[in-house]
Amino acid sequence: MTVSVIIPVFNGAGFIEEAIESVLRQSRKADEILVVDDGSTDGTSGIVERYADNVKLLTQAHAGPAAARNRAIGFASGQHIALLDADDIMLPDRIRLQAAQLHDRPENDIVLGKQILFRQGEAPSEVLASRDLRSRTRPGFVPSAALIRRTAFEAYGAFSEDQRIGDFLEWLTRAQQAGCRSSVLDVPVVLRRVHRYSLSNSAGPGYANLVAAIRRQGKATRS
């Protein structure tokens, strides 16, 4: 069971190193890490190149995260795709837990986990040790909480490159409506950074509506 981790990044010089390090620290190692620099102008690629022994760097003109994810999926060799946004941090057992879940449930194509929110400027170690961890924990309807069988993209299509925001939610909704089955781990798998450029702060009410639709659809499809 091979796993490719895909990280799209645009002007993420302040975050990308933490994201990569969190993948390298996994208890179950990734078989492949691909970073797609989506036209960054802040030196992101130079930081990624320091990890050349462990990370494959792809570059493209700025086209958005959906296009970056699609490109990486085309290059990926893994049977399973673990998505990670460049400003998020994998928790150490994420790949192990999610890979085991898909192994045990061959009827499912997707496994999600929960996310723990933290704000820019907060130290991840302090967040994980805080007493209000439960209040920071949310359902993981985000790319960084998803492990997906590669065959799901063959069955349900690629991410919509017309969607600059919410492409993962649009794909998940489309896949579930077509009969894709998913499961949800009741444990956090990622620390999700909240800042002024993050999806939750920029997508508006449409994002919340998509999440609600996915949760309703998921009740009928997940085991």
- Residue-wise pLDDT tens for the chain (223 aa)? 999 999 999 999 999 999 999 999 999 999 999 999 999 999 999 999 999 999 999 999 999 999 999 999 999 999 999 999 999 999 999 999 999 999 999 999 999 999 999 888 888 888 888 888 888 999 999 999 999 999 999 999 999 998 878 899 999 999 999 999 999 999 999 999 986 555 444 444 555 555 555 555 544 444 4
Rounded-to-integer distance, Cα 164 and Cα 167, Å: 7
Number of domains in the chain: 1
Rounded-to-integer distance, Cα 177 and Cα 210, Å: 13
- The burial of 90, by beta-carbon neighbours within 10 Å (0-12 exposed, 13-18 middle, 19 or more buried), is given as buried
110: domain range?
A: 3-221
